[in-house]
């Protein structure tokens, strides 16, 4: 299995931190040299390891924002 290469272009924010120091972060990440996408996942303290997460395009983030806004408004 080939190594996954990534570059965190921008840290947008941290949602939470576990007792072991892992953080759930929203970042703009370039995977394997591709155009950066929004990425939500758990990261080890120095970003040396990562958990499973989701990667979203800018359009998908906008749609997610609209859906989440409905929850907040209720």
Q: Which tens digits make up the pLDDT trace of 36-48?
A: 999 999 999 999 9
pTM of the prediction?
0.87
Q: Is the pLDDT of residue 73 over 80?
A: no
Amino acid 33: pLDDT: 96
Instruction: Tell which wins on pLDDT, 26 or 4.
Output: 26
**Is 39 within 8 Å of 23 (Cβ atoms)?**
no
Distance of CA 70 to the CA centre of its chain: 22
Query: Dihedral of CA 43/14/36/66: which sign?
Result: positive
Q: Is the pLDDT of residue 72 over 90?
A: no
Domains of the chain by start residue, with CATH: 6-73 (2.30.31.70)
**Spatial separation of the C-alpha atoms in residues 7 and 27, rounded to whole Å:** 10
35 phi and psi angles, rounded to 5 deg? -60, 140
């Amino acid at each position: 299995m080939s190594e996954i290469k990534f570059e965190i272009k921008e840290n947008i924010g941290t949602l939470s931190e576990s007792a072991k120091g892992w953080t759930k972060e929203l970042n703009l990440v370039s995977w394997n040299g591709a155009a950066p996408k929004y990425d939500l996942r758990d990261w080890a303290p120095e970003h040396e390891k990562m958990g499973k997460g989701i990667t979203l395009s800018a359009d998908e983030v906008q749609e997610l924002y609209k859906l989440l806004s409905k929850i907040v408004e209720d």
